[in-house]
Amino acid sequence: MAFELPDLPYDYEALAPYMSSQTLHLHHDKHHQTYVTNLNNLIEGSGLEGKSLEDVVTASFKDSSKAGLFNNAGQHWNHCLFWKVMKKNGGGKPGGELAKRIDDAFGSYDKFAEAFKTAGASQFGSGWAWLALDGDTLKVTKTPNGENPLVHGMTPVLGIDVWEHSYYLDYQNRRPEYLAAFLNNLVNWEEVEAQLHKAVG
Ligand code: MN3
């Protein structure tokens, strides 16, 4: 069964002005679609046909002959999470178990936010910043290009795309402003908490 581009869980206008309709159309309909198309083409004959997306990501990461497959599978996984962890009128501080785990891991929400923004701003070139579960502990991490924490044995619960295609139309070169807007106005903490519960089982 071929991999498919998921619909956005909100209207294209829903995240404006923090992420414009134009950015979402290009980013979802063009960039993400291209990763899905390439993934479906490259998986043919790879020996990984029929595997779950997570299995394709982790198996192809270990095999340098499958670098193209890895990049596209990783980017498909990353974007599926990215769309889900945003919503209209999102952002601000989380509640519930997530708030407690963030306090335990970082000392406070503000310290987490600084670490997350620093990770995103300091990722040289294209990549991602993450909040991921490492064993039983939340960590902030960053990865280049299509890589993600799954390949390092961690489970991402929140991710932000810091490729230029994700913010350049709305923020030009001001990546730190985009990172701040994501945390203050876009994060769907209920979905992040759901991802956390899925990860801890
Ligand atoms: Mn992207």
CB proximity list for 173: less than 8 A, separation 6 or greater: none
CB under 8 A, 24+ apart: contacts of 148-153: 148/57, 148/74, 148/77, 148/78, 150/54, 150/57, 150/58, 150/77, 151/57, 151/58, 151/61, 151/74
Ligand 1 centre from 198 Cα, in Å? 24
Ligand 1 centre from 8 Cα, in Å? 14
Mean predicted lDDT score pLDDT of the chain: 97
DSSP letters, 113-136, are HHHHHHHHHHS-SSEEEEEEEETT
Ligand 1 centre from 196 Cα, in Å? 22
Ligand 1 centre from 165 Cα, in Å? 6
Q: What domains are there in the chain, each with its CATH number?
A: 21-84 (1.10.287.990), 96-200 (3.55.40.20)
What proportion of the chain, given as a percentage, has pLDDT over 70?
Answer: 100
Ligand 1 centre from 153 Cα, in Å? 22
pLDDT score of 201 more than 90: no
Output Rg (C-alpha) for the chain, integer angstroms. Answer: 16
For 75-129, what is each residue's pLDDT tens digit? 999 999 999 999 999 999 999 999 999 999 999 999 999 999 999 999 999 999 9
Instruction: Give residue 48's pLDDT.
Output: 97
